[in-house]
Amino acid sequence: MTELLKVENLRTYFETERGIVKSVDGISFEVRKGEIFGLVGESGSGKSITGFSLIGLLDANGKVQPGSSVKLDGREIVGLPDQELRRIRGREIAMVFQDPMMTLNPVIKIVDQIAMAIRAHEKASDQEVRRRAIEALTRVRIVEPEKKIDQYPHQFSGGMRQRVAIAIALLHKPKLVIADEPTTALDVSVQADILKEMKALVAELGVSMIWISHDLATVSQISQRIAVMRRGKIVETGTVAQVLGAPQHSYTQGLLDALPSRARPGEMLASAATESSGPIVLDDLAKTAPKAADGAFVQVDDVDMVFERPVGRVGRFTQKLGISQPPHAVHAVKGANLMIRQGEVLGLVGESGSGKSTLGRIVCGIYTPTAGKVTVAGRKVREGQRKLGTGVQMIFQDPYASLDPRRTIFQSVAEGPLAHGLTTRRDARAYVNRWLKAVAFDPALADRYPHQFSGGQRQRIAIARALAMQPELIVCDEPVASLDVSIQAQVINLLIELRRTLNLTLLFISHDLSVVRHLCDRVVVMHHGKIVEEADVAQLFEAPQQAYTKMLLDAVPKLAV
């Protein structure tokens, strides 16, 4: 195969207030015709910046350094004037982004967005634009494209929006498509479909593709050759089998070892993280831990949750007159029953919109269910109940949003225990330090603010904050979903360690089946608000009973080595 793109010594530097950041620092690779080339790395590795550098779309403070070379079909792109670069973008090199909710303009009809992309490079009549828009949407398997092109993005699901973005990228049959985490924001089943379709489209149109991702499994599924990036440099490159099958570099090996899917369930994961963290110090905390016990500790009985927009009197009146429709009610949870034993970790699995987070919040008492009840240790959970505040705690997905940026770590962790009389102002310091040590966070840093810490450290703080309330149950809502694999491995290890010594009872909500398998004792699968299957972890993964569970398990991308 001949090469289409040749990148040599690409260096992209950013000028920031804190000096020059070498985001991409001298990388070289080539992409062959008709090939899918995977670019793998953790956040901050420079993989996305590499993509943007190729088409000259950097923020104002970023610059491709002289001496860099990017040749497309033998033609040097670096240093081309803006007008020339614009002509290449979309026509010869197209791009697809991660978040399909953000990439399409929410206030412009699909057909008009496609029209703009067509007219960026050629003249076309309105009729021709419509015809080509329909053709483009048909190509990415959107049903009823004649109707759909006149709709707005919010009328499309996430997967459909990403298909539209792909359709736009393919409009001019470019030579190269750069796909930056194109399936990361999608549900596994949708991701599986899009992976398959992308592969087929690449083969059908004969385009080449650079697939940028943090997810080794999807990359191994779709690409022929891959490069592993770390801190602006490529540490290893080769075919999928070479790099992932027999990694030469310790970093690649570390990434692979950090994957929960490659370890035995419940085992500590090896972590390639370089982030320093102290040892977990539990003092005598373990002694006061409750004993594991059989029988239901947390009980969820026939819980229903309907979200409705309040209509008010006027709304009811206009409904009676027949001039307005009743608002759309969302039945988020339908007749859910589950129980958790003391000291057990229950996984709650489902795709987006399955109602898993809603159920988690009901268990926490954040929402009052429309029907049914929840009891924890024999007490009923009710919304806004103060006493329960210490009984059930929550850990959220986004450690950036769940810590108050204006409070120090100490203040954030101490607030709850102080309010509930678990400690006094005088003893607060020692009390907080004990829990920070329990999550391997250096108490000396407790007077700093959240922005000074990385995502992994913040998630530790969030866990310490929950633990410090000495809860009977912790609801973890996707606690590792936004973390890099190596950091994710650390947090998973921490949770394993903590539950072992403190006998924690956890409700672990996740879309990631490999994490659930690794951490949980039993699993509940939710689909469209209903619990469809409940089983022990081993049994569910070995012999799923329901068709939906089987589909979900099949859709999970596996490392193709």
Partner 1 sequence: MTSFVFKRLGQAIVVLIIMSILVFAGVYVIGNPVDVLISPDATQAIREQVIAEYGLDQPLWKQYLDFVGSMSTGDFGRSFVFNMPVGELISQRLPATLELAVIAVILASLIGVPLGIYAGYRPNSLAARIIMAGSILGFSVPTFWIGLMLIMLFAVQFGILPAGGRGQTASLFGVPFSFLTLDGWKHLFLPVLNLSLFKMSMMCRLAAAGTREVMTTDAIKFARAAGIPERIILRKHVLKLISIPLVTVFGLELGSTLAFALVTETIFNWPGLGKLIIDSIASLDRPVMVAYLMMVSVLFVVINLSVDLAYAALDPRLRLKGR
Residues in contact with partner 1 by CB under 8 A are 55, 57, 59-60, 86-91, 94-95, 97-99, 102-108, 112, 116-117, 120-121, 152, 154, 165, 168-169, 171, 311-312, 314-315, 317-319, 323-325, 327-328
Quick one: which H or E segment has residue 336?
A: strand 330-342
Helix (H, G, I), strand (E, B) or coil at 207: coil
Residue whose C-alpha is closest to residue 35's, from 226, 194, 182:
226
Q: How far is the CB of 87 from partner 1 (least distance, A)?
A: 7
Q: In terms of C-beta distances under 8 Å and separation of at least 24 residues, what long-range contacts does 187-191 make, across chains too?
A: 187/158, 187/159, 187/351, 187/352, 187/511, 188/351, 188/511, 188/513, 188/552, 188/555, 188/556, 188/557, 189/351, 189/551, 189/552, 189/555, 190/157, 190/158, 190/159, 190/162, 191/218, 191/555, 191/557
Report the C-alpha gap between 297 and 295 in whole angstroms.
6
Q: How far is the CB of 486 from partner 1 (least distance, A)?
A: 26
Instruction: Output 116 or 286, the one with its CB closest to partner 1.
Output: 116
Instruction: Output 80 or 289, the one with its CB closest to partner 1.
Output: 80
Instruction: Output 67 or 327, the one with its CB closest to partner 1.
Output: 327
Residue whose C-alpha is closest to residue 207's, from 121, 124, 137, 139:
139
**Residues listed for the chain:** 561
Q: How far is the CB of 181 from partner 1 (least distance, A)?
A: 11
Neighbouring-strand partners of residue 305: 333
Q: How far is the CB of 120 from partner 1 (least distance, A)?
A: 4
Instruction: Output 1 or 60, the one with its CB closest to partner 1.
Output: 60
Q: How far is the CB of 155 from partner 1 (least distance, A)?
A: 8
DSSP code of residue 292 = P
Instruction: Output 168 or 229, the one with its CB closest to partner 1.
Output: 168
Q: How far is the CB of 108 from partner 1 (least distance, A)?
A: 6
Backbone angles phi, psi at 299, to 5 degrees: -130, 125
Q: How far is the CB of 179 from partner 1 (least distance, A)?
A: 11
Q: How far is the CB of 330 from partner 1 (least distance, A)?
A: 13
Q: How far is the CB of 225 from partner 1 (least distance, A)?
A: 24
Instruction: Output 327 or 405, the one with its CB closest to partner 1.
Output: 327
Report the C-alpha gap between 533 and 434 in whole angstroms.
39
DSSP code of residue 458 = H
CA 536 to chain CA centroid, Å, is 25
CA 373 to chain CA centroid, Å, is 31
Instruction: Output 1 or 107, the one with its CB closest to partner 1.
Output: 107
Report the C-alpha gap between 45 and 25 in whole angstroms.
10
> How much is the CA Rg of the chain, to the nearest whole Å?
26
Residue whose C-alpha is closest to residue 489's, from 329, 181, 261, 290:
261
Q: Contact at 8 Å (CB) between 95 and 58?
A: no
Instruction: Output 106 or 279, the one with its CB closest to partner 1.
Output: 106
Instruction: Output 112 or 197, the one with its CB closest to partner 1.
Output: 112
Q: How far is the CB of 91 from partner 1 (least distance, A)?
A: 6
Q: Contact at 8 Å (CB) between 229 and 27?
A: yes
Q: Both tokens of residue 41?
A: 């790395």
- Where does residue 178 fall: left (phi above 0), alpha (psi -120 to 50 degrees), or beta otherwise? beta
Q: How far is the CB of 136 from partner 1 (least distance, A)?
A: 12
CA 98 to chain CA centroid, Å, is 10
Instruction: Output 111 or 171, the one with its CB closest to partner 1.
Output: 171
In 267-355, which residue ranges form alpha helices assigned H by DSSP?
Answer: 312-321
DSSP code of residue 289 = P
Q: Both tokens of residue 3?
A: 């090469």
Instruction: Output 59 or 294, the one with its CB closest to partner 1.
Output: 59
Instruction: Output 152 or 307, the one with its CB closest to partner 1.
Output: 152
Q: How far is the CB of 229 from partner 1 (least distance, A)?
A: 20
